[in-house]
């Protein structure tokens, strides 16, 4: 390992984030290179200085009591009032849809529409879950690459379909890679794009029947979701960017193909 490589990994080494092999390689280099040893010594001294002297602020007792009291009052009278933090359940959706449509449509036509809403809602939940899990576990991509000629074959080799992969850097949405997820009872492709510091996931899988469908927007839990069907494929774009940005992203993807 040379100086450049050692210095580029000094922080993960200091923070014990490297695997054993890399750590040993760095230790070997440090043993033989005084310049790198000096730099490491300085960083290591800084870390212990910060850890020794940086102030930990304990929560004031009054704050603890105030929050406990607020929570107690939140918890006690929990009426069936739907929390804005949750998606409505399938049953609630059916009730809403039922009220709006009652008497207006023949019952079995309405039933088909209910089923459509309910299944979109369930899929939206699954898409949000997949997106949130990947961010929380920092597992954004299985194949990190901005090159569609790398991402597409990787996905195609692992799926029973071949998603359209395009880099949208020119439109402000650089391709960051791809990963696999499992939802709607099947493995699906996820293309991962960046927009500034945000992550946009595009879930793709073949749609079972169903005609082309223009983008439909939904929002939940702070995420915005855009769903459309085209050329036999189902698309779900999800992110925490503004809905208008997500719409631009969908436009860019659809027109780039």
Partner 1 sequence: MAQTRALAAMPAPGNPPAPARPSTKQGEPASLDEAGRVRRFEQIFSAHLDAAYDFARWLTRDERNAEDVTQEACLRAFKSLDTFHGGNGRAWLLAIVRNTYYTMLRKTRAERMSVSFDDETMAAGELAELESTGSAVDLVLQQRDARRLVNAALEELPEEFREVIVLRELEDLSYKEIAAIAGIPLGTVMSRLARARKLLLQRLQHAKRES
What are the residues binding partner 1 (CB under 8 A)? 3-12, 15, 17, 38-39, 42-43, 45-47, 49-60, 63-64, 66-68, 70-71, 74-75, 78, 83, 85-86, 89, 126, 129, 132-133, 135-138, 140, 183, 196-199, 221-223, 239-240
- Minimum distance from residue 214 beta carbon to partner 1 (Å): 26
Nearer to partner 1, 151 or 199 (CB): 199
- Minimum distance from residue 206 beta carbon to partner 1 (Å): 21
Q: Where are the beta strands (DSSP E) in 65-211?
A: 143-144, 175-183, 186-195, 198-206
> What is the per-residue burial (b if ≥16 Cβ within 10 Å, else e) of 88-122?
eebeebbeebeeeeeeeeeeeebeeebeeebebbe
Q: What angle do CA 210, 212, 217 make, to 5 degrees?
A: 100
Nearer to partner 1, 230 or 240 (CB): 240
Nearer to partner 1, 164 or 239 (CB): 239
Nearer to partner 1, 46 or 231 (CB): 46
- Written as six digits, the tokens of 81 are 């009032």
Inter-CA distances, 162 with 16, 41, 134, 204, Å: 39, 51, 22, 10
Nearer to partner 1, 72 or 106 (CB): 72
- Minimum distance from residue 54 beta carbon to partner 1 (Å): 6
- Minimum distance from residue 223 beta carbon to partner 1 (Å): 7
Inter-CA distances, 83 with 47, 148, 221, Å: 44, 41, 11
Contact 193, 173 (CB under 8 A): yes
- Minimum distance from residue 64 beta carbon to partner 1 (Å): 6
């Amino acid at each position: 390992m040379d100086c450049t490589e050692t210095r580029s990994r000094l922080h993960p080494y200091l923070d014990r984030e490297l695997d054993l092999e890399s750590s040993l390689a760095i230790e070997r280099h440090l043993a033989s290179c005084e310049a790198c040893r000096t730099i490491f010594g300085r960083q290591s001294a800084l870390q212990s200085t910060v850890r020794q002297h940086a102030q930990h602020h304990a929560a004031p007792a009054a704050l603890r009591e105030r929050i406990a009291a607020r929570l107690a009052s939140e918890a006690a009278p929990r009426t069936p009032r739907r929390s804005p933090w949750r998606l409505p359940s399938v049953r609630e959706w059916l009730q809403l849809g039922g009220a709006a449509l009652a008497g207006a449509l023949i019952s079995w036509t309405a039933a088909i529409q209910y089923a459509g809403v309910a299944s979109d809602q369930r899929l939206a939940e699954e898409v949000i879950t997949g997106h949130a899990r990947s961010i929380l576990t920092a597992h954004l991509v299985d194949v990190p690459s901005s090159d569609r000629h790398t991402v597409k074959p990787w996905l195609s080799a692992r799926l029973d379909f071949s998603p359209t992969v395009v880099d949208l850097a020119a439109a402000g949405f650089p391709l960051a890679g791809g990963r696999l997820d499992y939802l709607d009872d099947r493995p699906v492709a996820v293309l991962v794009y960046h927009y500034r510091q945000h992550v946009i996931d595009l879930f793709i899988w073949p749609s079972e029947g169903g005609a082309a469908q223009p983008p439909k927007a939904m929002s939940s839990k702070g995420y915005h979701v855009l769903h459309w069907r085209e050329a036999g494929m189902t698309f779900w774009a999800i992110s925490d960017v503004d809905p208008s940005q997500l719409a631009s992203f969908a436009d860019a993807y659809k027109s780039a193909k």
